[in-house]
Structure 1
Amino acid sequence: MTATQGTTNTPRPEGLRVPPLLLKTLVTVVVSIIAYVLTNALNQKQDEVWKLTISIVIGGSALIIQYMVDFERRLEAMENGQRTRIREMKDSLSEHHREVHGHLSDHRREMTDLVDDRFARISEATELFSQVDRSVLRSDGVTKLARSATKAGLLNNELVKTFASEEIDRLAQLLENLSNNIADCLGENQDWLIDLTRCIKNTLDATSTSVDRDFWNSEPASRYLEAQSDAILRGVKIRRLFIVDTEQEIDAKLTELCESQRSLGIDARVVALSQLPHRVQLGTHSDFIIFDNELTYEIDQDTKKVNAKTTLNARAALVEHRMKRFNRLWEATQDLSA
């Protein structure tokens, strides 16, 4: 049993293999010989040339058939190999897809979230600028602000970027407060005063107490009066009431100040509260200015009579109250000499 198994499993030595071409030749020769023998046996009357021709034809046919069979076998083997490789490639791709599917899913999810976030921001910005276009605000100014803020954020200067950020926050807070019809700041904001004067179209009614008497000799006062002169040229009517407590306070400087403003086209008057009936007196010494009967600019003083806070108020009830107070004071001065 052992010997038999050894004989069966022992591969044929490589040196005993017959080359395919030699094998085909031997088969062809054998077939030709057999054909010659058969032809000679079946028909001995034929001459030798005919017998040889028949043998060669049959042998050649056998050779061609061998090559055709071999070609078909190789073609089939090649097709099977191609199908095997395609199947292996598909299996490999499927396995690779399964392996990376989890990673791709996470990556796709991250990309989707990122794209959704970017589109949400774009949508928010588009909606914001659409609202600006629908409002009376200058959309070009808002666009310029956004573009300038972006440029400032790209500067290689931390101090400038920090300062720009603070200014943007301050402006944003101011606009938010104005959207609620009230805004304020510490101290006296003369820039608000001048900018509002440049914006008005109809009227400016103002009181001026002794607290701001020194203001009229300052540089901001010159710009304020210049803005008022420009407003008067636009057809704006300006009234200013200089208020003191007693007639003794109406000195030459105050009278001269009043006259200088009249020369600019401002309807200016000086009045002492002691001259007026108690019912029309100011009540407080806080200055206020009414712009276009829509917004008031008020300065509050502290206990030392120093300007402590400036407030802009566009609430209709307060604006109407200030208008009535100013008109009562103004009408009470009609019969008084300035």
Structure 2
Amino acid sequence: MSDRLQRSLMTQQPSTPEHDRDQIHLTARILISGLTGGLSFLLTNLTKQPIIWSLTLSVFLAGVTLVVQFLLDIERRIDRASRREKERMQILGEQFEEAIANANEATTLFQAIRNSAMKDAAPMFGVLLSRAAELDGSKDSMAGKLARTELDHLGTLLRELAQSRVSYDGEDSDWLLALTENAATSIDATSTPSADGGLVGFDAGFWDSWLGVRYLRELRQAIQREVKVRRIFILDDARLQEDQTFHRICKSQSDQLIQVRFLIPETVPGGNVSSVRDFILFDDELSYEVSVGHRIRTDMKSNITNTVLRTDAAQLHGLRREFEELWESARPYSA
């Protein structure tokens, strides 16, 4: 076999089912046309017609039969193509309607955001979606799982804020720092040894921790924005007012223009120190409250077990009244 013939055979395209089906249909048409011509020739011979007329009539009928078959096949093909095109247009129409519905939903949501308290953050949602699209496309990637978890947390935060109460197990440093960063008029807070202290008093407690240092830095910046900051230290032992660590903490905050006062058990309204909550009021619009668990051992400090954000006006009014009562009873710190 020559090289040219081998190359020709190697480059032949493999047959497809559709191509084989067309070949079978073509063969069947030719056979039917041939049978029609042969039958017409036989009939004309039986009637003693001239051979030329018999051949002419046979060829004519065979040709007509072949043409009719081709016309019928073309009609079937057109009908099949029409049905396919109709199905395709129906699918495209459904996809278009779905796209329009999604676009309308997205537009409605975006407009609702613009009319809400988040209107200034509306462009951030577009940035959020853009950044999400840049993540690894694998749904099982750790980055994707982390992003989905954080989005779930964000969704929970927004939903619960709309319901005026958000709860978190443990202490959320991000909330504390973000609220301080965004305060515009006032920050009024209580500080209890159970939440902010160490094993004894305030020694090695919150104010000496990484979060405490960051929090004080944000408070200093808030004061530079002319935010009024007041803090009441709640002492569960009158002897703590002479403690050097307590004086160091108070002086540090007082030097930053934080208005500092303290309460000892004898001056606490009602006389029950344990009833005083550890909370912060931001702009009289939102409260940050923490709950403290019991010590498991005497050589371990208490831990914050729950953090709650509140935006309900009635509850905020109660906290405002409680803070002002404590403030009036507290002693101003003096170095």
Instruction: Determine the structure 1 residue equivalent to 2:305.
Output: 308
Q: 1:107 aligns with which of 77, 88, 108?
A: 88
C-alpha distance in structure 1 between counterparts of 2:267 and 2:154, whole Å: 44
1:263 aligns with 2:255: yes
Whether the aligned pair in 2 keeps the contact of 1:185 and 1:310 (CA below 8 Å) is yes
The answer for the alignment partner of 1:169 in structure 2 is: 152
Q: What does 1:122-271 align with in structure 2 at a 5 Å threshold?
A: 122-135=103-116, 136-154=119-137, 158-211=141-194, 212-213=196-197, 214-250=205-241, 251-271=243-263
When structure 1 is superposed on structure 2, of 154-163 and 297-306 the one drifting more is: 154-163
Q: Tell me what 2:6 maps to.
A: none
Residues 300 and 310, structure 1, Cα contact 8 Å, conserved in 2: yes
Aligned match of 1:119: 100
Question: How far apart, CA to CA, are the structure 2 residues paired with 1:7 and 1:306?
Answer: 116
Gaps of at least 5 residues in structure 2 are: 1-44, 55-66, 198-204, 296-301
Relative to the length of structure 1, the TM-score reads 0.69
TM-score by length of 2: 0.70
RMSD over aligned CA atoms reads 3.0
Are the equivalent residues in 2 in contact too, given 1:247–1:275 (CA < 8 A)?
no
Letter in 2 for 1:109: Q
Deviation by residue 1:230-278 (Cα, 9 ceiling, x = unmatched):
1111110000000012312322221221111000010011111322342
Give the C-alpha shift of residue 119 in structure 1: 1.7
**SS at 1:9's partner residue?**
coil
Distance of 2:289 and 2:47 partners within structure 1: 120
Q: Output the CA distance in 2 between the equivalents of 1:243 and 1:218.
A: 19
Give the aligned residue type for 1:221. Answer: G
Question: How has the CA–CA distance of structure 1 residues 170 and 336 changed in structure 2, closer, same or farther, with 3 Å as cutoff?
Answer: closer
Q: Identify which of 319, 331, 336 aligns with 2:328.
A: 331
3-state DSSP of counterpart to 1:331: helix
User: In 2, are the aligned partners of 1:286 and 1:301 still within 8 Å (CA)?
Assistant: no
SS of residue matched to 2:246: helix
Change (3 A) 1:252 1:13: closer
CA deviation map 1:112-146 (0-9, x unaligned): 22221122112212222233334433222222111
Compared CA separation, residues 328 and 157, structure 1 to 2 (3 A): same
What is the deviation of 1:154?
3.3
1:306–1:192: structure 2 CA closer, same or farther, 3 Å change rule? same
* Cα pair distance change 1:115/1:7, threshold 3 Å: closer
Contact 1:246 1:274 (8 Å CA) reproduced = no
Q: Displacement of 1:100 after TM fit?
A: 4.3
Matching of residues 17-32 of structure 1 within 5 Å: none
Gaps (5+ residues) in structure 1? 15-84
Contact preservation (8 Å) 1:255, 1:270: no
Letter aligned with residue 312 of structure 1: L
Larger Rg over CA atoms: 1
Q: Supply the distance in 2 between the matched residues of 1:140 and 1:161 (Cα, whole angstroms).
A: 22
The residue that corresponds to 1:317 in the other structure is 314
Moved more, 281-290 or 118-127: 281-290
AA matched with 2:288: Y
Q: Which residue matches 2:79?
A: 98
Residues 153-209 of structure 1 deviation map (CA, whole Å, 9 limit, x = unaligned): 537981111111211221122122212222121111111111100001000000000
Relative distance call for 1:97 and 1:323 in structure 2 (3 A) is: same
Q: Is it true that 1:10 corresponds to 2:29 in the alignment?
A: no
Gap change, CA 1:176 and 1:91, over 3 Å in 2:
same
Q: Distance in 2 between matches of 1:315 and 1:157?
A: 40
Query: Which stretch of the first structure deviates more once superposed, 87-96 or 233-242?
Result: 87-96
